[in-house]
Amino acid sequence: MTETDETRAKRQDFENSLDESDRSVASFERSHGGFMDRAQHFLHGNPTMVPVIVLVLSLIVFGFIANNFFSAFNLSLIMQQVSIIGMLAAAQSLVIITAGIDLSVAAIMVLSSVVAGKLAVSMGVPSVIALPVSFLLGAACGWLNGVLVTLVKLPPFITTLGTWNVFYALILWLSGAQSIRGADIDASAPFLKFFGISIPIGGAQITLGSLLMILIFIVLWVMLNKTAWGRHVYAVGDDKEAAELAGIKTDKVLRSVYILAGLICAIAGWASIGRVGSISPQSFYEGNLQSITAVVIGGISLFGGRGSILGALFGALIVGVFQSGLRLAGVDVLWQVFATGWLIILAVAIDQWIRKVSA
Amino acid sequence: MRSQLKIALCASVAVLSAGGVAQAQDMVGACLITKTDTNPFFAKMKEGATEAAAENNIELSTYAGKIDGDVETQVAAIETCIASGASGILITPSDSRALAPAIEQARNNDLLVIALDTPFEPADTADATFATDNFRAGELIGQWAAATMGDEAENAKIAFLDLNPSQVSVDYLRNQGFMQGFGIEVNDETRIGDEDDPRIVGHDVTDGNEDGGRQAMENLLQQDPGINLVYTINEPAAAGAYEALNAVGLTDQATIVSIDGGCPGVQNVQDGVIGATSMQFPLDMASQGIEAIRAYADDGSLPENTEGLDFFDTGVTLVTDSPVQGIDSITSEEALEQCWG
């Protein structure tokens, strides 16, 4: 006390007020510095954390309110139920990261499965030939989308709205709008149902289809994050003109994305035969919208260039968890639809909020 | 000289052909509007309508919605049909209430409107309904299931695999018909899910396809793994339900019943996937509908309902390889000759 009085006395007058002034070095202004602000910055740096947090929270909540929800069997069942839409969401994510959208994913998938079934079951072609043919077909469908987007310069929404209808008509024509029965597949081409095989682990039933979905996501994550191609895909989605100026052959990248998406859909088509048990031209009619739902809930920006592909996996799982949880809690189906709708809106609202950080 | 000959020839051909038309009935237009063209049921309907149209000198235009529940496309088709000056419309309404204004417009323009397969609400929205008695179709498989289970019917655990959340008439008629046939007390006959019989495990929706059927069955098995009877809205949903049961090794525990009579469904009866199914006859609905439009165009006569019903019943037959006493049925072998698709 007395010491400070002495030092103060030695100072000049204006120096006496220095203690009360701001001594920090020049820095950016932190507007609030509260919890929300820090959360916003954290999520901006780690966009995949949003779906992860939602997934964990919903698992906990449904674990409390729904009977049987937390059994190993039910959790593995959710994996099975989301596996096909999950694969479509993987393909969809690729296209959405390039700031596009693909409404034809489910149609490509069903078309490929119908072709594989026609060849293998109705015409007796060996599965090892029929399946690669169906993969080629899926890739060709994707290539068509890519060419229309890059060479004819049509917006992806219009392009794939058109090809969705075209592919759908082909499905009906080829299949005669008739399902190929499970018993017929078992008799002549059981390999088509390969991904329906399940491995019991404890009480869980892990199907090869579920594992395939996870494998597809891992492979795509590596491709997007560890290769030059992956950087180019993000660059094209973020700002196509800038990417072009930086020397990226943007049209070529876009075409490769659509072809890869088509191929993944065709592989999903094979997996869907195992999941559904028959080849049904009428299944997955809204698969395209469900895949977009998973991608959006997974925090991948519809404006392109942002978001991790793993988000789509979590997005698909969140939808599956909500549907299973609400179902087991005895909630009517229409409220499941209601909840999914709000999830989409919430996810995009959070995405917009996070984007404001950089603005 | 040569050109004169040509003109003379053309003129005589024209006179001859004009005379030909005058002798036959007047060509009139008719429209067939189906819910979708994905379902072979509607393909069979189209087949019946096309054949009957050719026999009755009717020019047929066909339209279809994209998916079941696609009201907009059907409204546009009705409007196109009115504009074309057709004499009548055969329609399977995607929504039994929402289409009423468009139908009223058609009838104000003197078109005969016949609902095929799915009745309107109220049924007199259209001039007539040619349909399967969907309630009866449900009742038949309900009675069969009760008779097959015998005393065990007391302890039944029943899963209901319905169509979609909209509660359309075909959905609740089949559902409630099954309940009545099985001996479950129904409350509101136009409402699915308001019953409190303890034998009901639950209801879920399938969109009438294999994928939906499998998912719905998995969900209900999660609620009660002891399910031993499965009602399904149609045979694709039944095939999906079977896959779900098969995946957990419960196919021997549960009997699946269904409705439709599609060829893959009948084959599934033969293979033991489906215990019994109620077969309907789309070909007859459409061909009889076309004949009714012909009669209306000729002398304005309107079709009449089957006695005791508010529609014209085109028939339903139970298909099973395990017949029970007191319920008429045909075998899957016989059914394969009449199935559609």
Predicted confidence at residue B7, as pLDDT, reads: 55
Q: How far apart are CA A93 and CA A34, in angstroms?
A: 33
Are residues B271 and B147 both part of a single domain? yes
B308: amino acid identity, one letter: G
Of B205, B246, B264, the CB nearest to A333: B205
- Provide the domain limits for residue B152: 134-280+316-336
Provide the shortest C-alpha distance from residue B212 to chain A (in Å): 8
Q: Which of A355-359, B259-263, B280-284 has the lowest mean pLDDT?
A: A355-359
Residue B14 lies in a domain: no
Q: Which residues contact A42 (CB under 8 A, 6 or more apart)?
A: A49
Q: What is the DSSP letter of A180?
A: B
Provide the shortest C-alpha distance from residue B254 to chain A (in Å): 18
Residue B10 lies in a domain: no
Which residue in A312, A301, A274, A282 sits closest to A88, CA to CA?
A: A312
Residue B5 lies in a domain: no
In chain A, what residues touch B246 (CB-CB under 8 Å)? 277
Q: How far apart are CA B177 and CA A110, in angstroms?
A: 34
Provide the shortest C-alpha distance from residue A259 to chain B (in Å): 26
Residues B38, A334: C-beta atoms closer than 8 Å = no
Best of B192, B203, B222, B277 to mutate (most A CBs within 10 Å, chain A):
B222
Residue B328 lies in a domain: yes
Are residues B161 and B112 both part of a single domain? no
Are residues B222 and B324 both part of a single domain? yes
Are residues B152 and B264 both part of a single domain? yes
Q: Name residue, tokens 């490769």.
A: A256
- Residue range B242-268: mean pLDDT, rounded: 94
The total number of structural domains in chain B stands at 2
Residue B16 lies in a domain: no
Residue B7 lies in a domain: no
Task: Give Cα A320 distance to the centre of its chain.
Answer: 13
Q: How far apart are CA A36 and CA A357, in angstroms?
A: 11
Q: How far apart are CA B203 and CA B224, in angstroms?
A: 12
Under a CB-based contact definition with an 8 Å cutoff, are residues B28 and B84 in contact?
A: no
Best of A181, A289, A331 to mutate (most B CBs within 10 Å, chain B):
A181
Of A281, A285, A337, the CB nearest to B165: A337
Give this prediction's pTM: 0.80
Under a CB-based contact definition with an 8 Å cutoff, are residues B276 and B145 in contact?
A: yes
Residues B38, A198: C-beta atoms closer than 8 Å = no
Identify the closest residue of chain A to B236 by CA–CA distance. Answer: A179
Best of B243, B339, B340 to mutate (most A CBs within 10 Å, chain A):
B243
B32-77 confidence digits (pLDDT tens): 999 887 778 888 899 999 999 999 999 999 998 877 778 888 999 9
Q: What are the φ and ψ backbone dihedral angles of A310, each rounded to 5 degrees? A: -65, -25
Best of B207, B219, B242, B269 to mutate (most A CBs within 10 Å, chain A):
B219
Query: Residue A259 to residues A143, B25, B308: CA-CA distances in angstroms?
Result: 5, 57, 60
Identify the closest residue of chain B to A77 by CA–CA distance. Answer: B218
Are residues B246 and B149 both part of a single domain? yes
Of A81, A278, A282, the CB nearest to B218: A81
Are residues B251 and B276 both part of a single domain? yes
Across the strands, what pairs with B59? B29
Residues B243, A333: C-beta atoms closer than 8 Å = no
Under a CB-based contact definition with an 8 Å cutoff, are residues A300 and A97 in contact?
A: yes
For chain B, helix (H) and strand (E) counts, in that order, are 11, 13
Task: Let me know how long chain B is.
Answer: 341
pLDDT band at B2 (very low <50, low <70, confident <90, very high): low
B70-99 confidence digits (pLDDT tens): 888 899 999 999 999 999 999 999 888 889
Q: Which residues contact A81 (CB under 8 A, 6 or more apart)?
A: A320, A323, A324, B215, B218
Q: Name residue, tokens 């033991």.
A: B272
In chain A, what residues touch B223 (CB-CB under 8 Å)? 67-68, 327-328
pLDDT band at B329 (very low <50, low <70, confident <90, very high): very high
pLDDT per residue rounded down to tens, chain A (359 residues) = 455 556 555 667 766 676 777 666 666 555 556 788 888 888 887 778 888 988 999 899 998 888 778 888 889 999 999 999 999 999 999 999 999 999 999 999 999 999 999 999 999 999 999 999 999 999 999 999 999 999 999 999 999 999 999 999 999 889 887 889 988 999 999 999 999 999 998 888 899 999 999 999 999 999 999 999 999 999 999 999 999 999 999 999 999 999 999 999 999 999 999 999 999 888 898 899 999 999 999 989 888 888 899 999 999 999 999 988 888 887 887 888 898 899 889 888 887 888 777 54
Residue B289 lies in a domain: yes
- Greater confidence (A272 vs B311) lies with A272
Are residues B69 and B185 both part of a single domain? no
Q: Which residues contact B109 (CB under 8 A, 6 or more apart)?
A: B82
B207-248 confidence digits (pLDDT tens): 999 999 999 999 999 989 999 999 999 999 999 999 999 999
B19 has pLDDT over 50: no
Provide the shortest C-alpha distance from residue A301 to chain B (in Å): 29
Q: Residue B101 belongs to a domain with what CATH number?
A: 3.40.50.2300
Task: Give Cα B98 distance to the centre of its chain.
Answer: 18
- Residue range B240-263: mean pLDDT, rounded: 95
Kindly provide the ipTM of the predicted complex, given to two decimals. 0.78
Identify the closest residue of chain B to A287 by CA–CA distance. Answer: B211
- Residue range B168-193: mean pLDDT, rounded: 92
Residues B341, A324: C-beta atoms closer than 8 Å = no
Across the strands, what pairs with A206? A199
Pair type for strands B88-91 and B128-131: unpaired
Provide the shortest C-alpha distance from residue A29 to chain B (in Å): 53
Under a CB-based contact definition with an 8 Å cutoff, are residues A204 and A73 in contact?
A: yes
A212: amino acid identity, one letter: L
Q: What CATH number labels A46-63+71-355?
A: 1.10.3470
Structure tokens at B89: 């419309």
Predicted confidence at residue A350, as pLDDT, reads: 84
Predicted confidence at residue B20, as pLDDT, reads: 43
